[in-house]
């Protein structure tokens, strides 16, 4: 989920991607502005970097025009921040970069390495983060006080939420091992690109039985009906944008590539209790010992004994909000009850055992009102921010060459 500038080999990357012959004119053109926003230029190199960056963080399918529009809006955000005297310090930017990488359970160095291997400069990630974080501060400063939510609005939202019902999705999954250490990445990408074109649920299930590393391979990758609120947050809009039978674009996570096929969607009455936190544990174990270890653990505490025998360094037990958990782990936990286990590809020739320890729920109406109030506030601020950005764009002098 990041990107990186490769100034010394930028021309080589361009040649590899475009099959062109290098010359001084082409090398220079890559850094000449093709779009200006109130005089600030956007170069072909930036457009190429943003495109690759989105591919790395799983936001595939954006057109060149969409990428350009997002860069234009980033320029407008930064210009607004400058006018309002808002800027990120170097330390603040690095802290936000750490948080961004941490969403994928990566350090900044690990994140930069992944970006670099995909031809993306880490500065591209910094630019993306800076534009969004400073814009958030601009919105807070400009619309302070306009995000206040009344008790009446909260009451109305709670009533509507209870009467509308919820959504459930029926989908299947394929987890393709893609461990760089074992040379699996190229094969996994080739398989993923082929499978994503499938529109038959039976063919998708056949591919799951043949290639998936998930325990669901035994039943063709088919999952049970799942409340959309239990699906990891980044995956929800992706699934809901599909038609039954369609497959997501390949979603690259650590050591694996994920594919999901939507089978059906239905409305239902939502659950009364809302999950506030999940306690879970993960441990990397040798591939050949995975089944034996899984058969010998009944509760999360049993994993301490397993970790001790394996050296005691690779057990992680944590409690997090559902949306703060890495999406490949969150997806497994969403369909597990307490003390159930599952497995996903780990580094090198290992598997990662994932165990659900327990869930915590929102306990009372006051907590529910607080959640609803925050949701309404964020929605209102988002609407105000969208309107302000549209106003800035309408007044801007944007020139495409």
The pLDDT score that the predictor gives to residue 380 is: 79
The pLDDT score that the predictor gives to residue 228 is: 82
Architecture of domain 166-268: Roll (3.10)
CA–CA gap between residue 7 and residue 14 (Å, rounded): 11
Contact 77, 135 (CB under 8 A): yes
CA–CA gap between residue 149 and residue 373 (Å, rounded): 6
Q: Provide CATH code, domain 275-361.
A: 3.10.50
pLDDT confidence bin for 16, thresholds 50/70/90: very low
- Two tokens, residue 77: 């955000």
Specify the residue for token string 């063919």.
203
Mean of all residue pLDDT scores within the chain: 82
CA–CA gap between residue 207 and residue 290 (Å, rounded): 23
Architecture of domain 7-142: Orthogonal Bundle (1.10)
The answer to whether 166-268 and 275-361 have equal CATH topology is yes
Sorted by where each begins, the domain ranges of the chain are: 7-142, 166-268, 275-361
The pLDDT score that the predictor gives to residue 157 is: 63
Tens of pLDDT, residues 242-266:
889 999 999 888 888 999 999 998 8
Kindly state the average pLDDT of the residues 317-328.
85
Specify the pTM: 0.46
pLDDT confidence bin for 18, thresholds 50/70/90: very low
Kindly state the average pLDDT of the residues 347-354.
86
Kindly state the average pLDDT of the residues 22-33.
61
């Amino acid at each position: 989920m990041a990107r990186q500038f490769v100034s010394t080999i930028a021309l080589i990357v361009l040649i590899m991607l475009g099959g062109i012959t290098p010359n001084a004119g082409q090398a220079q053109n890559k850094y000449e502005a093709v779009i200006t926003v109130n005089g600030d230029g956007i170069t072909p190199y930036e457009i190429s970097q943003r495109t690759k960056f989105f591919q790395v963080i799983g936001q595939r399918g954006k057109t060149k025009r969409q990428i350009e529009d997002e860069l234009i809006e980033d320029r407008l955000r930064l210009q607004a921040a400058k006018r309002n005297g808002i800027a990120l310090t170097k330390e603040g930017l690095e802290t936000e970069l750490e948080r961004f990488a941490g969403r994928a359970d990566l350090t900044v160095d690990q994140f930069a390495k992944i970006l670099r291997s995909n031809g993306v400069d880490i500065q591209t990630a910094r630019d993306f983060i800076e534009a969004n974080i400073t814009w958030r501060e601009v919105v807070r400063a400009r619309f302070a006080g306009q995000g206040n939510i009344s008790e009446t609005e909260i009451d109305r939202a709670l009533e509507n939420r209870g009467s509308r019902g919820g959504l459930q999705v029926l989908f299947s999954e394929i987890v393709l091992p893609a461990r760089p250490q074992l040379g699996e990445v190229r094969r996994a990408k080739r398989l993923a690109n082929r499978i994503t074109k499938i529109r038959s649920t039976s063919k998708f299930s056949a591919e799951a039985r043949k290639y998936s590393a998930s325990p669901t391979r035994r039943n063709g990758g088919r999952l049970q009906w799942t409340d959309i609120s239990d699906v990891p947050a980044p995956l929800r809009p992706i699934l809901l944008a599909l038609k039954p039978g369609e497959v997501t674009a390949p979603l690259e996570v650590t050591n694996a590539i994920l594919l999901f096929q939507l089978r059906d969607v239905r409305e239902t009455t939502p659950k009364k209790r809302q999950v506030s936190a999940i306690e879970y544990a993960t441990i990397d174990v040798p591939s050949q010992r995975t089944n034996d270890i899984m058969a010998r653990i009944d509760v999360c505490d049993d994993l301490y004994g397993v970790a001790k025998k394996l050296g005691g360094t690779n057990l992680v037990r944590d409690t997090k909000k559902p949306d703060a958990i890495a999406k490949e782990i969150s997806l497994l936990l969403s369909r597990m009850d307490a003390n159930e286990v599952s497995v996903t590809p780990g580094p090198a020739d290992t598997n990662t055992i994932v165990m659900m320890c327990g869930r915590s729920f929102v306990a009372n109406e006051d907590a529910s009102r607080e959640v609803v109030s925050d949701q309404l506030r964020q929605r209102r601020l988002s609407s105000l921010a969208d309107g302000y950005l549209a106003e800035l764009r309408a007044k801007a002098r944007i020139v495409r060459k």
